[in-house]
């Protein structure tokens, strides 16, 4: 039986190309569980993998898609039976192991999580890796204590930023969203942001290592100059959950915010999260993320649109989350 997948191939000239092709079950990589995929999403890493050069792809031909949700179709693992709804993020799926841009996927049972009550497969992928990471970031901030001041979310109109804004606002925090797209202000307010900060206000390189104490916490999807600047504006003892590098991998700062303000810089990695953490985060998502706000973030897509959507996300042009219906 053949089915559709977006396959990335590498030519003799070293160039990569992505196209929707028919593949079979025998083509899928080894694994304990075969899943009939329903939805996948477009994340920043997916943009790299479907784009020229193959980004993070480790083997060719390759099926990208770093997350998916669907229904178990066959299982050699007692934890999963046929018909179970499951969700997958991380574990280098879509980079080193074929991923979710396919109507079927075969993976290790250890990488899956049962879909929590209160979420269907489409909602789980409206959250996807970006939203799952936003939840991990909020949990890390909570573990270290969120201060009274507003919580800053950088890259607010993107995937991680949108979900972080909605969760934090729903938990009762004042949220300041940083965006380079003023036209997204109404959208961010609808997710619960109480303040919009223009990207230019924070993009300058650090002039003074410490500025006025403003932010009670921060979820940072941008990194680079912006993160360096934000570190000097954190309240005493507040924490920054560093998630991404959409604005650059450098960090031109000093030790001063850490020494004189006790600022915590918390690195968030969604890829290698142990099972219990993943389960806890998905259960928190089902509880703490209002579904009407999640619905407002979503743009639907189909497999054939992925090469263009990959370019769009790398250019910072996607608002919220793109959910790919692999069966459409």
Closest distance to ligand NDP from the beta carbon of 171 (Å): 19
Closest distance to ligand NDP from the beta carbon of 110 (Å): 18
Q: Applying CB under 6 A, which of residues 4, 6, 44, 94 lies at the interface with ligand NDP? A: 44
- 280 belongs to the binding site for ligand NDP (CB under 6 A): no
Give the integer Cα–Cα distance in Å for 20 and 324.
13
Give the integer Cα–Cα distance in Å for 297 and 326.
19
Closest distance to ligand NDP from the beta carbon of 226 (Å): 6
CB 321 within 8 A of CB 172: no
Give the integer Cα–Cα distance in Å for 231 and 221.
14
- 247 belongs to the binding site for ligand NDP (CB under 6 A): yes
Q: Applying CB under 6 A, which of residues 8, 35, 124, 130 lies at the interface with ligand NDP? A: 130
Q: Segment contacting ligand NDP (CB under 6 A): 51-59, 180-188, 252-260, 289-297?
A: 180-188
Closest distance to ligand NDP from the beta carbon of 177 (Å): 7
Taken in order 58, 63, 64, 67, the sign of the CA dihedral is: negative
- 116 belongs to the binding site for ligand NDP (CB under 6 A): no
- 179 belongs to the binding site for ligand NDP (CB under 6 A): yes
- 313 belongs to the binding site for ligand NDP (CB under 6 A): yes
Q: Segment contacting ligand NDP (CB under 6 A): 15-23, 56-64, 79-87, 128-136?
A: 128-136
Binding footprint of ligand NDP on the chain (CB under 6 A): 43-45, 129-130, 133, 155-161, 179-181, 184, 199, 221-222, 226, 243-247, 268-271, 313, 316, 318
């Amino acid at each position: 039986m053949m089915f559709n997948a977006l396959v990335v191939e590498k030519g003799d000239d070293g160039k990569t190309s992505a196209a929707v092709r028919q593949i079979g079950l025998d083509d899928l990589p080894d694994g304990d569980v075969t899943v009939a995929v329903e939805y996948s999403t477009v994340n920043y890493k997916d943009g790299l993998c479907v784009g020229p050069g193959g980004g993070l792809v480790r083997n060719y031909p390759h099926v990208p898609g770093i997350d998916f949700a669907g229904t178990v179709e066959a299982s050699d693992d007692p934890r999963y039976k046929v018909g179970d709804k499951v969700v997958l993020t991380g574990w280098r799926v879509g980079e080193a192991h074929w991923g979710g841009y396919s109507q079927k996927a075969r993976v290790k049972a250890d990488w899956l999580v049962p879909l929590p009550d209160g979420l269907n497969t489409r909602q789980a992928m409206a959250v996807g890796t970006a939203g799952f990471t936003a939840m991990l970031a909020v949990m890390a901030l909570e573990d270290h204590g969120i201060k009274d001041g507003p919580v800053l979310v950088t890259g607010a109109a993107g995937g991680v930023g949108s979900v972080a804004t909605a969760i934090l606002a729903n938990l009762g925090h004042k949220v300041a969203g940083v965006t380079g797209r003023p036209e997204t202000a109404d959208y961010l307010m609808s997710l619960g942001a109480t303040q919009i900060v223009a990207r230019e206000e924070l993009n300058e390189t650090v002039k003074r290592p410490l500025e006025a104490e403003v932010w009670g916490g921060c979820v940072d999807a941008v990194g680079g100059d912006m993160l360096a600047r934000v570190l000097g504006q954190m309240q005493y003892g507040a924490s920054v959950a560093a998630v991404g590098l959409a604005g650059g991998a450098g960090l031109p700062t000093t030790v001063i915010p850490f020494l004189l303000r006790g600022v915590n810089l918390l690195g968030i990695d969604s890829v290698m999260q142990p099972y219990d953490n993943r389960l806890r985060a998905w259960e928190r998502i089902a509880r703490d993320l209002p579904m009407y706000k999640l619905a407002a973030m979503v743009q639907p897509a189909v497999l054939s649109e992925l090469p263009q959507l990959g370019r769009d996300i790398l250019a910072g042009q996607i608002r919220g989350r793109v959910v790919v219906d692999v069966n459409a």
